[in-house]
Amino acid sequence: MAGIRDVAKKAHVGVGTVSRYLNKSGYVSEESREKIEKAIRELDYQPNELARNLYHNRSSIIGVIVPDLEHPLFSKLSKYIEIKLYEKNYKTLICNTVGVSNREKEYLGMLERNVVDGIIVAAHTLQSDEYLKINRPILAMDKDFKGQIPLIHSDHKKGGRIAAEAMIQAGCKNILQFTPSSKVSTPSNQRHIVFEEICRKQGVRVTTIETNWNLFTNSYYRQYMKEEIDKYVDINFDGVFTADIPAIACMTVLKKKGYRIPEDVKVMGYDGVDEIYMTDPPLTSIAQNIPELAERCVDTILNIIEGKKYEKHQILDVKLIKGSSL
């Protein structure tokens, strides 16, 4: 296997010149560059990635922390982040916290020890001060650190407004709204606040019910909806607004109980995951642009690492996907 000295010998340049070329650490003339590139091709030379990373004090690995990869939103987000990072010659280390565990703290420890170059966090198990005491590249996706860590999220206020207007236009008068726990403050909670405000101004009753703050599995939502729907049968609700996966679980429960969708109960989801097209009827949803969220996350964390300019707070657009559940 060819080494750096073999490349230098074949290119008729010094080892230091080859090193500067490989590490992009200094001036290399155009003539020397062409000779080195030709020698690399002819020798099929493979640079020592570990040595190069050690030279730059980098690992070329980015950590991604999400609550649970079973949830379609986080699995799709992780997929697109990994694709974009790979295109930028970075590898991805994915952690799903799966409820409350030490995983998130351990990954932060890896950032402190330079095992990863930066972290994109979309989980909510650790207190903010655990992140704020680390002076290393961190980007938050839908997790608010009060402006102290760069933040990217969808326009949830607009999403809540679109959802409210769509359900009011569909004739809903009495809506159940299932929200994440108020214990955790995230930009995504704004959609539910705006939704309720607009509905109430139009004389529409909204009953807000909090779900468990850090469980995202399908089995949890199926059981949860089975229990909760029975509690509110007496108020004669005619609409449900929640995220896509609990909305799909709710539709299943409602149909088993004899409700017709949308004739008896209209259902509105939020996120725009692929599963909304597989329901019967197809679920109407407010869609986040997951590929764009992933691309913004990658571009921003790499700009932070490389000391380039970046926007501290980025908000991406959302859109209504019309199904047949309204």
Q: Give the right CATH number for 156-288 from 2.60.40.10, 3.10.290.10, 3.40.50.2300, 3.10.129.10.
A: 3.40.50.2300
Residue 68 tokens, joined? 């649970």
Class at the top of the CATH hierarchy for domain 61-153+290-316: alpha beta
> pLDDT value at position 72?
93
Per-residue model confidence as pLDDT tens digits over 307-325: 999 999 999 999 999 999 9
Confidence of residue 152 (pLDDT cuts 50, 70, 90): very high
Residue extent(s) of CATH 1.10.260.40 domains in the chain: 4-56
Average pLDDT of the segment spanning 23-46: 86
Confidence of residue 111 (pLDDT cuts 50, 70, 90): confident
Residue extent(s) of CATH 3.40.50.2300 domains in the chain: 61-153+290-316, 156-288
Q: Tell me the Ramachandran region of residue 251: left when phi exceeds 0, alpha when psi lies from -120 to 50, beta otherwise.
A: alpha
Confidence of residue 154 (pLDDT cuts 50, 70, 90): very high
> pLDDT value at position 48?
62
Class at the top of the CATH hierarchy for domain 4-56: mainly alpha
On average, the pLDDT of the chain sits at 89
Residues near 127 by beta carbon (within 8 Å), at least 6 away in sequence: none
> pLDDT value at position 265?
97
Q: Is the pLDDT of residue 295 over 70?
A: yes
Reduced to 3 states, what is the DSSP secondary structure of residue 268?
A: strand
d(CA 38, CA 209): 66
Reduced to 3 states, what is the DSSP secondary structure of residue 323?
A: coil
Q: Is the pLDDT of residue 53 over 60?
A: no
